[in-house]
Structure formats: structure tokens, C-alpha cells
């Protein structure tokens, strides 16, 4: 599956999943420390839709932000 919006081009972003250990200073501890950080992906919320692309119906993936905006014409 292509993980990209057909209209705006929104795709996956990379980041880290951070694991912290220790009690917070606010709660009386010595502060939380970062123990490990593993790589992860943040995937966009894509939905499969039939829309008109160049006046022809086509089934593509569209992100929910573009669906809310209404940047397309639905195919029948």
C-alpha cells in the first residue's frame, strides 16, 4: 500500500519511542531519565476512496484532513 495522500502528498514521519525511568522531581524523586529510544513511524490516517482525477474515476488513498476540507469530487 502506498502510504501517501493522493491530494496533499502527506506521508509517514519518523520519530522515536522514548522509555523513561525514575520518579519525577515534582513527586519527590531525583528526576526521570531516558533509558532507551527506539525508532518508530507515525503513519497518516489514509482512507481508500473513489474520486475524480483528471475527469476520470480513480481509487486512491486520501488523508482524513483532505476529506474534511473537501478538496476533491467523489466519483459515482
Indicate the DSSP class of residue 74: B
What's the pLDDT tens digit per position in 5-26? 999 999 999 999 999 999 999 9
Q: Is residue 42 included in any domain, yes or no?
A: yes
Q: Is residue 64 included in any domain, yes or no?
A: yes
Q: Is residue 76 included in any domain, yes or no?
A: no
Q: What is the pTM of this model?
A: 0.71
State which residues form the domain around 35.
13-69
Pairwise pLDDT comparison (71 vs 13), residue with the higher score:
13
Q: Is residue 75 included in any domain, yes or no?
A: no
Q: Is residue 56 included in any domain, yes or no?
A: yes
Residues 6+ positions from 51 with CB-CB distance below 8 Å: 6, 57, 58, 60, 62, 72, 73, 74, 75
Q: Is residue 3 included in any domain, yes or no?
A: no
- Report the domain count for the chain: 1
Amino acid at each position: 500500500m502506498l502510504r501517501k495522500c493522493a491530494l496533499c502528498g502527506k506521508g509517514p514521519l519518523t520519530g522515536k519511542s522514548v522509555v523513561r525511568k525514575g520518579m519525577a522531581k515534582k513527586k519527590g524523586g531525583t528526576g526521570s531519565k531516558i533509558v532507551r529510544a527506539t525508532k518508530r513511524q507515525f503513519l497518516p490516517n489514509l482512507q481508500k476512496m473513489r474520486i475524480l482525477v483528471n475527469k476520470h474515476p480513480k481509487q486512491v488513498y486520501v488523508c482524513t484532513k483532505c476529506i474534511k476540507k473537501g478538496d476533491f469530487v467523489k466519483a459515482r
